[in-house]
Amino acid sequence: MRLFCFPYAGGGASIFHTWPDKLPTTVEVYAVHLPGRGNRLIEPPFTRLVPLVQTLTEALLPQLTTPFACFGHSMGALIGFELARQLRRQHGPSPVHLFVSGREAPQLPSPEPPIHALPEPQFVAELQRFNGMPKEVLEHPELMQLLIPTLRADFAVCETYTYTSDAPIDCSISAFGGLQDHEVSREQLEAWRDQSRASFSLYMFPGDHFFLDTAEPLLLKTIARDLQQSVRMFM
């Protein structure tokens, strides 16, 4: 089983660096590293979801030769969902499971006004509100100047996204949320149920929007269990 993992806005593959050692050995973790960050910092980041997903689909197709699942947190959840729909449009292989984390269902209107085009002081203030940037980074002007273009681009990916109605996908969906997350509610996560023809599960973990760090052991245990159930159904 291959598990393709998609990061949140501003994040890279390093978010998932501990996962291969903490998930069962039967799970191969493929952490997706998008342009505009880390060792791809000089590459222009995507600012729209459609070209991102189209490029990603072509890049991943050679790796989809064995049963696979997708995990995405926040922006990554949107990427994983639209990747599954793009594969279906191309009559490609389908994931056996989709894990969506910290993101409202795509058919719901965003409850927050867009921030990607705000002047820099206001944009940085909004980043602080999300609690996703370490204080040391926010207080390091040179580092912030490197990161802001990618963060703006990632927020643009999410904030310019337009949901198009289509049939639910065939694979099971597990939705994850943080009990103290003020950005995404349980009801907004529950609405992912409408996007699957198969089973749906909702799990709430201790923590805010970045519970995937603070509740990692419980999160990975849940992922491993749901993957095992999906594999049984696939076989």
Q: What is the pLDDT of residues 79-95, one digit of tens each?
A: 999 999 999 999 999 99
Q: What is the pLDDT of residues 120-171, one digit of tens each?
A: 889 888 888 776 666 656 667 777 888 889 999 999 999 999 999 999 999 9
What is the residue range of 12's domain? Answer: 2-110+164-234
101 is catalytic: no
Q: Which of 14, 74, 110, 230 is catalytic?
A: 74
| pLDDT given at position 145 | 82
Percentage above 90 pLDDT, the chain: 78
First-to-last CA distance in the chain? 12
Domain assignment present for 96: yes
CB atoms within 10 A of CB 69: 24
Domain assignment present for 135: no
Q: Which residues contact 141 (CB under 8 A, 6 or more apart)?
A: none
34's torsion region: left (phi>0), alpha (psi -120 to 50) or beta? beta
- Of the ranges 14-28, 122-136, 215-229, which one carries the lowest mean pLDDT score? 122-136
| pLDDT given at position 127 | 83
CB atoms within 10 A of CB 120: 11
Domain assignment present for 149: no
| pLDDT given at position 48 | 98
Buried b (16+ CB within 10 A) or exposed e, 156-195: bbbbebeeeeeeebebbbbbbbbeebebbeeebbeebeeb
Domain assignment present for 24: yes
* Whole-model pTM over 0.85: yes
CA proximity to 5, closest of 59, 86, 14, 172: 14
Q: What is the pLDDT of residues 39-64, one digit of tens each?
A: 898 899 999 999 999 999 999 999 99
Domain assignment present for 157: no
Domain assignment present for 38: yes
| 8 A C-beta contact, residue 84 and residue 70 | yes
Helices (H), 6-140: 19-22, 49-60, 75-89, 120-130, 135-138
H-run or E-run covering 109: none
Total count of domains within the chain:
1
User: Residue 42's domain is classified under what CATH number?
Assistant: 3.40.50.1820
| pLDDT given at position 153 | 96
Domain assignment present for 54: yes
Q: What value, to the nearest 5°, has the Cα angle with vertex 79 and ends 211 and 174? A: 50
Domain assignment present for 55: yes
What mean pLDDT, rounded, does the chain reach? 92
